[in-house]
Amino acid sequence: MLLTLSTTHKPATDLGFLLHKNPARMQTEELSFGKAHIFYPEASEELCTVALMLEVDSIALARGRHGSSGDGGPLQPYVNDRPYAANSFLSVAIGRMLASALGGRSKDRPELAETAIPLIARIPCVAARGGEDLVRRLFEPLGYAVVLSSALLDERFPDWGTSPYVSLELSATVRLQDLLTHLYVLIPVLDNEKHYWVGDDEVEKLLKRGEGWLPSHPEKDLIVSRYLKRQGELTREALARLIAEDVAEPEEQKEQVRDEEEQKVERPLGLHEQRMGAVLSVLRGVSAKRVLDLGCGEGKLLRYLLADQQFEAILGMDVSWRSLEIAKDRLKLDQLPERQRARIELVQGSLMYRDQRLNGFEAAAVVEVIEHLDAPRLASFERVLFEFARPSHAIITTPNSEYNTVFETLPAGQFRHRDHRFEWTRAEFEQWAGDVAARFGYTVRFQPIGPEAPALGAPTQMAIFSLSAPTDIQTEPQTNA
């Protein structure tokens, strides 16, 4: 298995400083799956190429704990493509042999480590399962020019067609660290063979190495799923956390400021309390015992739910770790008596992904959350809630944008919270909710929350969806439907 990296940056031999590897010396290290060698086939001022070559010990592998799946007959563990086709051993070797460069550190050329330089990576044998198209879809969005060449399986038998292996060349002007990071993550994705055990720390590795590029990669879902070898639980966790980084986490402080801004706008109305009161009264009215608080944030609704023994099982879910930590503290979960503690669970998850933990609840509250979801992604949320979790009742609240002109502190045309992706008029919300209800077999009715202004309606709008007949619900009669 071979990877070469070349640069024409001048002097090209600076590559040796970036890699912390002397071009004049060959280095070999024993790794758990065999030997890794580093050497320089060429090292001049104009062009410098480093090779990372792995000698994979198939016999040791077959006997050791790295044993392959073994479903290809008795010889399969010994005769397979593991020693030749680029696979996750190459990533392991990059992580071990080129750790400083992968981490972006260079003792002698720190500025150069931060600089984009012309680089070409060549891997002579890549398993392009998923097709050449996939290779392009992985690397081109990252700015690489991709050259692929495939060979006939056997020149004497052209009828057999081409080999599923291709030779890959990537070129770009990038930081060495970025190139190594992209290879580190995407080589195992290309390989897609399940040959070593994927543990929780793989999620950590992926998130760490994916920082700054994976959350916005158009093939993010595929990359995560294949990197984690299609282990559903891990994939879901990673994706949920990637979204968290994408949407909420990197700007934690700002997020807090925005929350405060929104509260400042709405506080004079006591709107928050009114919202909680309205949602609780619906939940009580439908006699729900098992309830979901989706996008529970810092746990404001959860506190009310905990205080009412009607609610026997409460699940709070949010995509943001930080919010969940705050919720856990505020609710003093650690200090609750065991019986109370057993009623509530907080989990991290994204409303964009189907999640079995949400099954089996009678009612779901989604309070001031949908406006934080990208409009094109609402369709995923709709299916997650109404098709898969499918509670008997769902309560969704969202701002009524018509009311915004009443808020003295809110500049015209601005949303109440800077993270809001949209704010809907009553007509828009009712159109959306009516359409969703019809598609998923729910009925829906609407209720205003907060003081109503003539012609503008109330500041918050609430939709109450029910699988059963609407007469089950004993709340205030609707006034603005």
> Which positions lie near ligand SAH, rule CB under 6 A?
243, 247-248, 295-297, 300, 318-320, 323, 350-352, 367-369, 372-373
Q: Which is nearer to ligand SAH, 243 or 458 (CB)?
A: 243
Q: Which is nearer to ligand SAH, 204 or 374 (CB)?
A: 374
Residue 410 CB, nearest distance to ligand SAH (Å)? 17
Q: Which is nearer to ligand SAH, 150 or 274 (CB)?
A: 274
Write the DSSP string, 246-296. IIIGGGHHHHHHHHHHHHHHHGGGTHHHHHHHHHHHHHHHTT-SEEEEET-
Residue 205 CB, nearest distance to ligand SAH (Å)? 23
Q: Are 114 and 147 in contact (CB under 8 A)?
A: no
The residue nearest ligand SAH at its CB is: 297
Q: Which is nearer to ligand SAH, 5 or 369 (CB)?
A: 369
Residue 454 CB, nearest distance to ligand SAH (Å)? 27
Main-chain phi, psi angles of 217, to 5 degrees: -75, 130
417 vs 371: CA distance, rounded Å: 10
165 vs 430: CA distance, rounded Å: 53
Provide the 3-class DSSP secondary structure of residue 221: helix
Residue 387 CB, nearest distance to ligand SAH (Å)? 16
What is the enclosing helix (H) or strand (E) of 126? strand 117-127
Q: Which is nearer to ligand SAH, 84 or 353 (CB)?
A: 353
Q: Could you tell me how many residues make up the chain?
A: 481
Residue 252 CB, nearest distance to ligand SAH (Å)? 11
51 vs 26: CA distance, rounded Å: 10
Residue 322 CB, nearest distance to ligand SAH (Å)? 8
Residue 239 CB, nearest distance to ligand SAH (Å)? 10
Q: Which is nearer to ligand SAH, 98 or 458 (CB)?
A: 458
Q: How far from chain centre, in Å, is Cα 215? A: 6
Q: Which is nearer to ligand SAH, 182 or 420 (CB)?
A: 420
Q: Is the dihedral of CA 351, 447, 451, 364 positive or negative?
A: negative
Q: At what angle do helices 200-209 and 232-243 cross, to 10 degrees?
A: 30
Residue 351 CB, nearest distance to ligand SAH (Å)? 4
* First-to-final CA distance of the chain: 66
**What is the phi-psi region of residue 216: left when phi exceeds 0, alpha when psi lies from -120 to 50, beta otherwise?**
alpha
Q: Tokens at residue 324, please? A: 């969940």
Residue 280 CB, nearest distance to ligand SAH (Å)? 12
Q: Which is nearer to ligand SAH, 82 or 416 (CB)?
A: 416
- For 22, counting Cβ atoms within 10 Å of its Cβ (0-12 exposed, 13-18 middle, 19+ buried), the class is middle
Q: Which is nearer to ligand SAH, 83 or 297 (CB)?
A: 297
Burial 432-448 (b: 16+ CB within 10 A, else e): bbbebbeebebbbbbbb
